[in-house]
Amino acid sequence: MAIRFGICKDFNMLEVVAKAGFDYIEPQFRTLATMSDEEFEKTKAKVAELNIKCEAYNIFAPGSVPSLRAEDIDFNALSEMVHKGMSRAKELGGKIVVMGCGWLRRYPEDMTLKHAKEETAKTIRFCGDIAAQYGITLVIEPLNIHETNFVNTLKEGIEFTKLCDHPAVKCLVDFYHTYRNSETIGSLKENIAEVYHAHLARPNEDRAYPEEEDLPKLEAWSQLLKDVGYDSRISLECHGKDAATEEEDILRSLAYLRKYFN
């Protein structure tokens, strides 16, 4: 199966993403889960009109969720939110929901990492049970050390996924975060075969769309995935430098993905 290419944009960018020719869009799960029924019906109609797939989602939790640790969770409210979001995601063809949420999994200085892992894993298993009912997989996103203090490297992401020990919970590689962590190609090779989804941005602190000078790094990342036969999805997750040129940046980046990652 050929790799499918998408982009992390919310539903207000459906037309831009469809026009660019992406295989799918990766909007926010929290937007999907909290919109009104009327808003969802309008969104569903627009998705159908544009014939754009909504296969993946990111930014899992709305602001009403205080943290991802079980001891802080109202599980009745969480269950309602996750069921609603997963049901709607399934209607739109959803396959993956990314669990990054670095601000929600950050643990305080007076808590041990072991306790934070155990409590967070309880919540993720709970959400995994619900996701599985809709045929959807949760993917844990390792985030760089500047954004959170828990599950930063790809190795840590794989280890935490194994701790969760749930068939509907996998791990993601975000090459921007691996760059920010100074993870080497060698360190990524040890765990890259176990990734289920991928994000990509320019290897630069601005997290912008890839440019010509970034192509050697894109080629190296591509080779990593090719070496393990990766054939799932890659989503651009980039910040536009200039709104006036963003559509041009998007088209250029998609062309790079097709050239280097197919």
Closest-CA residue to 32 (of 81, 96, 100, 99): 81
Confidence of residue 1 (pLDDT cuts 50, 70, 90): low
pLDDT digits (tens, 9 = 90+) for 82-135: 999 999 999 999 999 999 989 999 999 999 999 999 999 999 999 999 999 999
pLDDT digits (tens, 9 = 90+) for 131-147: 999 999 999 999 999 99
Q: Which two tokens stand for residue 167?
A: 């068939």
Distance from first CA to last CA of the chain, Å, rounded? 10
Q: What is the pLDDT of residue 151?
A: 97
pLDDT mean over 33-57: 97
pLDDT mean over 27-32: 97
Q: What is the pLDDT of residue 2?
A: 85
Confidence of residue 64 (pLDDT cuts 50, 70, 90): confident
- pLDDT value at 63 more than 90: no
pLDDT digits (tens, 9 = 90+) for 68-79: 999 999 999 999
Given a contact cutoff of 8 angstroms between Cβ atoms, the answer to whether 65 and 33 are in contact is no
Given a contact cutoff of 8 angstroms between Cβ atoms, the answer to whether 182 and 150 are in contact is no
Average pLDDT, the chain: 95
pLDDT mean over 227-249: 92
Strand stretches in 95-226, DSSP E: 96-99, 137-140, 169-174, 195-200
d(CA 68, CA 108) in angstroms, rounded, equals 13
Q: What is the pLDDT of residue 119?
A: 97
Structural domain boundaries in the chain: 4-261
Q: Which pTM was predicted?
A: 0.95
Write the CATH number of the domain with boundaries 4-261.
3.20.20.150
- pLDDT value at 223 more than 70: yes
- pLDDT value at 34 more than 80: yes
d(CA 12, CA 14) in angstroms, rounded, equals 6
- pLDDT value at 240 more than 90: no
